[in-house]
Amino acid sequence: MEPGDERTYSTTMATDLAPISQIWGSITQREEWTDDERADVLNDLFPDDERIVPYLKRFATLMILSTTIAAFGLIGDSAAVVIGAMLVAPLMTPMLALAASLTYAQMRRFVGSLSLIVIGTVGAIATGWVVARIAGGSLTAASLSSELLARTTPSLLDLGIAVAAGLAGGYVLTHKGAGSSLPGVAIAVALVPPLATVGVALELQANDQAIGALLLYSTNLVAIVLSASVVMVVSGFVPDYIRQAARGKIGLRLLPWGIALFAIAVPLAAHTRAVVEDEVFVGAVAAAVGTWDPQAVIVELDADRTGDQASVSMTVATSADHQPAWKLASAISANLRIDLDLDVRYREETTDAASTS
């Protein structure tokens, strides 16, 4: 947070939109930039001729290592390891560079950073594939770890995270003294784990899941580039003489990214709707189970609803004198006006105890 922000936060929250406008005010707060300072930041984003080789070496090394860490973490179902991989991941730099090249209208740097992103993307997927090949073990397309599955069904929430993280990334870059926050941005909008997921899923021939993870990665990529670009323009990082020379052209250059973001939002919205529908359905099923047999405890539940067709598989723990499945099917079906296939497994509640001394 910038000095002076406390003052704005201490003012009254007169309307619901007040916090948002305050944050926006903070993002758009103009820093005083000299051309030398701008050049330093840009040089970090786009290493020049002398530094390009070490930069590429560092990028390739960290890319392979971070994807390897991520793939192991995903296969081993360890959230901590996956987060570790995010901290090592170097992909954020070329993305911010891409945003800068768009706003500064620098074609050579645009092509350079886009190429680096494409190569990094393909390399990361290949690394994920190789790790799964070597260490995939007992994983199959039907039994992916929950860390993997978590990256295969992106929703509008992920889009929101990516937009906010892009704003944060742009903010960190264009506001002096905010640099230490970058690792947090990298964690919030993970780039390498979805790519590792694509590679692992492809190796397991789980193509639908691979496409889902690729959609998550695309969401992050487009949202970061677009929102970081916007921050660079409104925060004054892009100097006025460039903005005036470009006139409406900056908007024109960002337009394809805006369209891409919208195009991605469509499947995400569909995904989100399906997820919400399934959750509502699961809630209705759980409520019906409570009426059907108050003693029943749902041990496992797999529910899927498409339109007015649904299937439910569940395991319930209940007393030995259990209720028949047809009654539950009948109740759910009548309440929700759907056709239902129901499988119930009963796990009898038995207890046992022993002591020795």
Partner 1 sequence: MRLQRASALLIVGAVFAAGCSSESVDERPIIEVFGTFREADAAHFAATVRPFEDEYGVNVRYVGSGSFVRDIRERIANADYPDIALVPQPGLVTEFAAAGLVRPLAAATADAQRAAYGDSVAATFNGALYGVWFKASVKSLVWYRSDFFATHGYEIPASWTELVELTEQIEADGMTPWCLSMESFTASGWVGTDWIEDIVLREQGSDFYDDWVAGNISFEDDAIVAALETFGAVVHTPGRVAGGTNRILNTPWQRAQDPMFEEEPGCLLHRQASFQEVHLPTAASFGENTKVFPLPSVDGTEPPLLVAGNLATAFNDRPEVVSLIEFLGSAEAGKGWASRGGFTSPHPEFNPDWYANDFDRNIGEVLNQARTLRFDGSDLMIPAVGTGTFWSGMLTYVRYGNARDAAAEIQLGYASAEPFDE
Residues engaged in binding partner 1 (CB under 8 A):
142-143, 300-302, 308, 313-315, 324-326, 328-330, 332-334, 337-348
User: Is 338 in contact with 356 (CB distance < 8 Å)?
Assistant: no
Burial of 67 (0-12, 13-18, 19+ CB in 10 A): buried
Taking the C-alpha atoms of residue 106 and residue 98, their distance in angstroms, rounded to an integer, is 10
| Least CB distance to partner 1 at residue 329 (A) | 4
Report d(CA 56, CA 47) in Å as an integer: 9
Give the shortest CB-147-to-partner 1 separation in angstroms: 15
Closer by beta carbon to partner 1, 51 or else 345: 345
3-class DSSP state of 189: coil
Shortest CB 141 distance to partner 1, Å = 12
Cα-based distances in Å from 326 to 170, 296, 319, 323, 342: 57, 15, 18, 9, 8
| Shortest separation between residue 331's beta carbon and partner 1, angstroms | 9
Q: Compare residues 125 and 340 and give the one whose CB is closer to partner 1.
A: 340
105/274 with CB nearer partner 1: 274
Q: What minimum distance in Å lies between the beta carbon of 159 and partner 1?
A: 25
Shortest spacing between CB 325 and partner 1, in angstroms: 4
Degrees to nearest 5, angle at CA 95 with 75 and 22: 105
Residue holding tokens 């926050």? 181
Which one, 294 or 307, has the nearer CB to partner 1? 307
Instruction: Report whether 26 contacts 8 (CB < 8 A).
Output: yes
If the CB atoms of residues 273 and 347 are measured against partner 1, the closer one turns out to be: 347
Q: Which is nearer to partner 1, 119 or 301 (CB)?
A: 301
